[in-house]
Amino acid sequence: MTTVRTVHRGAGGGAVGLVLAGAVSVQFGSAVAALLFPRAGVAGVVSLRLTIAAVFLLVVCRPRLRGYRRSDWLLVGGFAMALAGMNTLIYQAIDRIPLGPAVTLEVLGPLALSVFAARRAASWLWAGLALLGVVLLGYQGFGRLNPSGAAFALGAAVMWAAYIVFSARVGRRFRKADGLALAMAAAALLTLPAGLVASGSALLNPGVLALGAAVAMLSSVLPYTLELLALRRMTTATFGVLMSLGPALAALAGYLVLHQSLAPVELVAIALVIAASIGAVRTAATPRPGR
C-alpha cells in the first residue's frame, strides 16, 4: 500500500507539471539545436549547450564544494558522464535521422530500466511491443533512417537510463540543484575539447552563441532542473511514464520546427513504443501480491 500511495502522489500535482514542461522544452530545444548543426557542427553544439548551461547553473546555484563524501563525488561523476554521453549521442542521431524516430529509439532506455526493475512476465510482453515498434521503424529499410543514426540513438537510450538513475540519486544527496550544476560543469569539460577541435571560432559567432544559449536553456537548464526537482517527489517508474510521451513531442517538434514529415507506419511505430513504455512502467509501479 505504501508503494501505491507513493506512485499516486508522484503522478499528481506539481511534479507532473514539472516533468511535462521539461519534456516539451527538451524536444523543442533539440529541434532548435538541429538548426545549428550546419553552422557549428554536432560536437560544437553539444559543447556549446553544456558549457552555457554549466556557467548559468554555477552562477545561479553557487554550489558548495565541501562537506561531501567520496561516494557523493562518484555519483556526480557518473551523472556527468551520463549527461555528456546522452547529449552527444542523441545529437549525432538527430543529425542523421528525423527527430521523432530518434527519440523513439532513445526512449527504449527508460523502457528497459522499467522492465528490468519489474522483473515480471508482463514486462517482457511490453518489451516485445516496443520491439515491434522498432521493427516498424525499419519497415521501409533502415537505409531511410540511416543505420549509424539509429545506432547513435540506441546508445543515447543507454545513457538516458543511466541519467535517470544518477539524477534521482544525486538529487537526494545534494541540496537544490547543486548536484546538477556540478555534474553539468564536469560534462561541459568532457565535451568542450571535441567541440573546439571540430568547430573552432564558429562557436564565437554572435548568432551561433545566441542560438546556443537558447538551446542550453531549453534543452538543459530548464528540463534538467525541473526533472531533478520532480524526481524528489515521484518514483522513477512514474517519471518513466511521463517520459514515454517524448517520442510524440519530438515528432511534433520535428514537424513544426524542422518540417520533418513521418510516414503512417512510423507514426504507428512511435505509438507502439509509447504504449509499451507506459505499460512497462505501470507494471513496475504496481506492487506484487502479498506485499
Q: In the prediction, which pLDDT does 10 show?
A: 40
Query: Residue 175 burial by CB count (10 A; 0-12/13-18/19+): exposed, middle or buried?
Result: exposed
Question: Whole-angstrom Cα distance, residue 112 to residue 116?
Answer: 6
Q: Could you tell me if 104 and 254 are in contact, meaning their C-beta atoms sit under 8 angstroms apart?
A: no
- According to the model, what pLDDT value does residue 267 have? 84
246-258 vs 99-106: helix crossing angle, rounded to 10? 160
pLDDT tens readout for residues 34-91: 999 999 999 999 999 999 999 999 998 899 888 889 999 999 999 999 999 999 999 9
What is the predicted pLDDT for the residue at 6? 38
Separation of alpha carbons 12 and 26, rounded Å: 21
**170-176 mean pLDDT:** 85
* DSSP category for residue 66: S
Q: pLDDT of 221-259, one tens digit each?
A: 888 788 777 877 777 666 766 777 788 888 889 988 998
Give how far the C-alpha of residue 53 lies from the chain's centroid of Cα atoms, to the nearest Å.
15
Q: Which of 267, 274, 212, 249 is nearest to 26 (CA)?
A: 249
> At how many degrees (to 10) do helices 108-118 and 264-285 cross?
30
80 touches 247 (CB < 8 A) = no
**Residue 118 pLDDT grade (very low, low, confident, very high; cuts 50, 70, 90):** low
Q: Give CA–CA dist 267/247, Å, rounded.
A: 10
> If you average pLDDT over residues 131-143, what whole number do you get?
66
Q: What pLDDT sits at residue 286?
A: 61
Contact indicator for 278, 53 with CB cutoff of 8 Å: no
**R_g of the chain computed on alpha carbons:** 18
Residue from 270, 50, 87 nearest 180 by CA: 50
Q: What pTM does this model have?
A: 0.80
pLDDT at position 240, please? 66
User: Residue 44 has what pLDDT?
Assistant: 94
C-alpha cell read off for 25:
522544452
Q: How long, in residues, is the chain? A: 291
Provide the pLDDT for residue 13.
55
**Are the beta carbons of 53 and 95 closer than 8 angstroms?**
no
Domain boundaries, the chain: 2-285
Listed range (29-43, 168-182, 277-291) with the worst mean pLDDT: 277-291
From its phi and psi, is residue 288 left (phi > 0), alpha (psi between -120 and 50) or beta? beta
Residue 289 confidence (pLDDT) above 90: no
The CB-side HSE value for 81 (13 A sphere, CA atoms) comes to: 9
Residue 237: what pLDDT? 63
Q: What is the dihedral of CA 187, 170, 104, 288, to 10 degrees?
A: 160
**Residue 105 cell numbers, joined:** 529509439
Residue 206: other Cβ atoms inside 10 A: 7
- Distance of alpha carbon 30 from alpha carbon 214, whole angstroms: 10
